């Protein structure tokens, strides 16, 4: 029996070691990244990034690329600060679980047990079912997906005021479905946890996290408090066109507010490898606790544990744990495999940074498994970035010809979908460069003459510039193409146009609807699955329930349950290439995955 067991262990060890890479393979992969990342930063107009790769419990790459301050020529280093968005939730979950480990919080107790300063609003659902475990796993049935930040000159609300709805837009936190029945992402739930940490510990959340989690781990350059020290080491943050934007602050610290460096972030990733035999193991959470945090919670559809996302990589046998994060100007990504002691961490300082980490993550998965993740790795730079540079150099007089030339010569190199030019137009419109915005929208009209959305955008630019007559014509054309464009009809009505009879019910050919069926990868951890039942399309986001979508036009659909819009983007051959989700003023585009 002992001999058989030894043989089995030897076979298992052999299998594990065979999955690891030798020094030559590691050096080759790191060299490839050194070549590819600067090119990706240039392609997607992201000033800087930092990355760490862990192989068999050892850091094989930890490095900054590009710039934290372009104007001053300051490069990204291992000590440059970045906001990591929603990955703050994973670190915050460690703070909660430490209190659980100490017996001060019961995972399955109602959250209200620990709350005195704020209470969930009454609803048809039972607040006793909103437990700590369900808050950590986004299965508590709560509202409020995510938080916009506050400007540097804003007076931030208290956490109680934020929970009540004073939070720059998304509204108060409340129960909107039966707790424990479905997975619904709720940043608001983590704001409740933030308050619970304060109530139970008797400290401010940021102070508790610093003294009990960050400093003991050795993350001494990380903080939920944005003070002079943190600001002094921080990168600038940039929009998708590489322009510096205002630094954002967050009352919702547990949900979105942690600032860290790649050095510190790697420390956390290593601490998440609970089976790794380190010379200096962390003493904060037990291996059993971390392992429990990585087990999919009930009702999460296998996608989420206690603060950790569970990511089963399609087309491979690999399952990773971690989280993604994004705030204005920042994108971050964390994935670890505790079985093999491997990890991938990346942080960026640009609005298009998710394109960088998605591509590099795809390269890492391919290097580890030898298997491609298909279309989710086929990420093309936006033609908008190239046009913006052309406009800077040459102006707008030859914009149409320049665009046509790009399309003729580089059709396979850039993303030429309708929304790319539309976003560029709104970029100039937001900067009060109305003439440039109109020139961009006009090129988009010439390229997509049957798009209601482009005529609507062009009308908005014309109206802003004072050309009411042509604005009306553009809005009328938009509504003619899409009689369900209620926004356009509302604008026309405000301009004194008789809109009676303009609004009509839209029907879309069933063959067109069928072409939209499939999966769309908006982020490594976020897939929207579109299905068809008769003439009704439904969409389901990762870990969430299905929702019906209704046509505004042949390509643009809307939701009735929330203010959101889904656009199916076609390529030059008229085939469905991607899906764009517009919600809360933010657009996210994902490629259609291969069948």
CA distance 415 to 135: 39
Report DSSP state, residue 210: I
pLDDT given at position 16: 37
Which one, of 302, 315, 314, 332, lies nearest residue 323 by Cα?
332
Instruction: Give the predicted TM-score (pTM) of the model.
Output: 0.84
| pLDDT in single tens digits along all 595 residues of the chain | 333 433 333 333 333 333 578 999 999 999 999 999 999 999 999 999 999 999 999 999 999 999 999 999 999 999 999 999 999 999 999 999 999 999 999 999 999 999 999 999 999 999 999 999 999 999 999 999 899 999 999 999 999 999 999 998 889 999 999 999 999 999 999 999 999 999 999 999 999 999 999 999 999 999 999 999 999 999 999 999 999 999 999 999 999 999 999 999 999 999 999 988 777 778 899 999 999 999 999 999 888 999 999 988 876 788 999 999 999 999 999 999 999 999 999 999 999 999 999 999 999 999 999 888 776 777 889 999 999 999 999 999 999 999 999 999 998 899 888 888 988 999 999 999 999 999 999 999 999 888 888 899 999 999 999 999 999 999 999 888 877 788 889 999 999 999 888 877 788 999 999 999 998 888 766 788 899 888 899 998 875 667 889 888 888 888 866 667 899 988 767 788 889 887 655 567 888 886 5
Question: How distant, in Å, are the alpha carbons of 141, 147, 191, 228, 376 from that of 225?
Answer: 29, 17, 16, 10, 36
pLDDT given at position 524: 63
pLDDT given at position 367: 95
Which one, of 334, 331, 330, 326, lies nearest residue 145 by Cα?
326
Structural contact between residues 393 and 360, judged by C-beta atoms closer than 8 angstroms = no
φ, ψ for residue 532, nearest 5 deg = -130, 130
- CA 457-463-464 angle, 5° bins: 90
CA distance 411 to 573: 11
CA distance 253 to 88: 7
**Total Cβ atoms within 10 A of residue 555:** 23
CA distance 336 to 311: 10
**Total Cβ atoms within 10 A of residue 179:** 22
Which one, of 237, 138, 244, lies nearest residue 193 by Cα?
138
Question: How distant, in Å, are the alpha carbons of 162, 164, 583 from that of 170?
Answer: 10, 10, 11
CA distance 409 to 417: 16
Question: How distant, in Å, are the alpha carbons of 166, 174, 560 from that of 122?
Answer: 18, 8, 24
Q: Which long-range contacts (CB under 8 A, 24 or more apart) does 511-520 make?
A: 512/554, 513/537, 515/575, 515/576, 516/568, 516/576, 518/576, 518/592, 518/593, 518/595, 519/592, 519/593, 520/578, 520/579, 520/590, 520/591, 520/592, 520/593
CA distance 263 to 221: 9
Structural contact between residues 189 and 309, judged by C-beta atoms closer than 8 angstroms = no
pLDDT given at position 483: 79
The runs of H, that is alpha helices, within 375-531 are 383-394, 399-409, 418-430, 434-447, 452-464, 468-481, 486-494, 510-516
What pairs with residue 592 in β-bridges? 520
pLDDT given at position 526: 73
Inter-axis angle of helices 88-101 and 187-201, nearest 10: 40
CA distance 461 to 438: 6
What pairs with residue 347 in β-bridges? 50, 332
Q: For the chain, which domains are there?
A: 82-377 (3.40.710.10), 383-494 (1.25.40.10), 510-592 (2.40.128.50)
């Amino acid at each position: 029996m002992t001999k058989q067991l030894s043989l089995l262990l030897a076979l298992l060890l052999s299998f594990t070691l065979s999955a690891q890479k030798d020094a030559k393979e590691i050096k080759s992969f790191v060299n490839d990244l050194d070549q590819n990342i600067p090119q990706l930063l240039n392609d997607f107009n992201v000033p800087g990034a930092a990355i760490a790769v862990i192989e068999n419990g050892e850091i094989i790459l930890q490095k900054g690329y590009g710039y934290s301050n372009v104007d001053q020529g300051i490069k990204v280093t291992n000590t440059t600060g970045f906001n990591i968005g929603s990955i703050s939730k994973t670190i915050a979950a460690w703070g909660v679980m430490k209190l659980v480990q100490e017996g001060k919080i019961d995972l399955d107790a109602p959250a209200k047990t620990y709350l005195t300063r704020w209470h969930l609003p009454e609803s048809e659902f039972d607040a006793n079912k909103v437990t700590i475990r369900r808050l950590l796993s986004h299965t508590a049935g709560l509202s409020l997906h995510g938080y916009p930040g506050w400007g540097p000159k804003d007076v931030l609300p208290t956490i109680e005021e934020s929970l009540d709805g004073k939070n720059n837009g998304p509204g108060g936190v409340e129960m909107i479905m039966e707790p424990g029945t479905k997975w619904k992402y709720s940043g608001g739930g983590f704001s409740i946890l933030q308050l619970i940490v304060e109530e139970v510990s008797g400290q401010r959340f940021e102070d508790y996290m610093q003294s009990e989690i960050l400093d003991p781990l050795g993350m001494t350059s990380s903080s939920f408090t944005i003070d002079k020290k943190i600001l002094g080491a921080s990168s600038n943050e940039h929009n998708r066109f590489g322009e510096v934007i205002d630094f954002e602050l967050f009352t919702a610290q547990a949900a979105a507010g942690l600032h860290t460096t790649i050095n510190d972030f790697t420390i956390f990733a290593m601490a998440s490898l609970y089976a790794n035999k380190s010379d200096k193991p962390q003493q904060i959470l037990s291996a059993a606790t971390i392992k429990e945090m990585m087990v999919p919670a009930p009702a999460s559809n296998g996608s989420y544990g206690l603060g950790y996302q569970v990511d089963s990589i399609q087309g491979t046998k690999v399952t990773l744990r971690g989280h993604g994060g994004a705030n204005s100007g920042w994108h971050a990504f964390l994935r670890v495999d505790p079985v093999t002691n491997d990890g991938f961490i990346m942080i960026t300082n640009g609005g298009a940074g998710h394109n960088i980490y998605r591509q590099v993550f795809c390269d890492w998965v391919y290097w580890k498994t030898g298997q491609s993740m298909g279309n989710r790795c086929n990420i093309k730079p936006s033609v908008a970035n190239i046009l913006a540079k052309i406009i800077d150099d040459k102006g707008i007089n030859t914009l149409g010809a320049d665009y046509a030339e790009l399309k003729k010569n580089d059709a396979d190199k850039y993303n030429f979908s309708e929304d790319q030019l539309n976003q560029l137009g709104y970029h100039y419109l937001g900067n009060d460069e109305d003439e440039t915005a109109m020139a961009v929208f006009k090129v988009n009209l010439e390229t997509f003459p049957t798009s209601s959305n482009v005529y609507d955008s062009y009308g908005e630019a014309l109206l802003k510039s004072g050309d009411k007559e042509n604005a009306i014509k553009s809005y009328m054309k938009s509504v003619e193409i899409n009689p369900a464009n209620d926004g356009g009809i509302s604008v026309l009505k405000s301009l004194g146009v008789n809109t009676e009879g303009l609004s009509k019910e839209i029907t879309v050919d069933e063959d067109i609807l069928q072409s939209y069926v499939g999966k769309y990868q908006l982020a490594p951890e976020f897939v929207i699955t579109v299905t068809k039942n008769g003439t009704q399309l439904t969409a389901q986001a990762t870990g969430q329930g299905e929702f019906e979508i209704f046509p505004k036009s042949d390509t643009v659909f809307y939701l009735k349950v929330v203010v959101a819009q889904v656009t199916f983007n076609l390529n030059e051959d008229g085939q469905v290439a991607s899906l764009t989700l517009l919600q809360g003023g933010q657009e996210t585009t994902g490629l259609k995955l291969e069948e």
